Amino acid sequence: MTEQPKVRVLLLESIHPDAVSRLEEDGFQVESLRNALDEVELIERISGVNLLGIRSKTQVTAKVLEAADKLVGIGAFCIGTDQIDLAAASAGGVAVFNAPFSNTRSVVELAIAEIISLTRRLTEKNTLMHAGVWDKSADGAHEIRGRRLGIIGYGNIGTQLSVLAENLGMSVSFYDTSDKLALSNAHRCASLDELLESSDIVTMHVDGRPGNAGFFGAEQFAKMRPGSLFLNLSRGIVVDHLALRDALKSGRLAGAAVDVFPTEPKGRGDEFLSELRGLPNVILTPHIGGSTEEAQSDIGGFVANKLAKFVTEGNTSLSVNLPGVTLPELPGMHRIVHMHKNTPGVLAQVNRILADHHVNVEGQMLSTRGEYGYLITDIARGYPDEVLDQLRDMEQTVRLRVLN
Active site positions, annotated: 235, 264, 287
The sign one gets for the Cα dihedral 106, 116, 273, 206 is positive
Q: What are the DSSP calls for 270-325, one per residue?
A: S----TTTT-TTEEE-SS-TT-SHHHHHHHHHHHHHHHHHHHHH---TT-SSS---
Cα–Cα distance measured from residue 39 to residue 391, given in angstroms and rounded to the nearest whole number: 34
The sign one gets for the Cα dihedral 65, 68, 70, 75 is negative
Do the beta carbons of residue 307 and residue 97 sit within 8 Å?
A: yes
Cα–Cα distance measured from residue 59 to residue 38, given in angstroms and rounded to the nearest whole number: 7
**What burial class does residue 397 get, using C-beta atoms within 10 Å of its C-beta: 0-12 exposed, 13-18 middle, 19+ buried?**
middle
CA dist list (Å): 115 to 108, 144, 155, 157: 11, 8, 19, 15
**DSSP type of residue 5:** P
SS3 241: helix
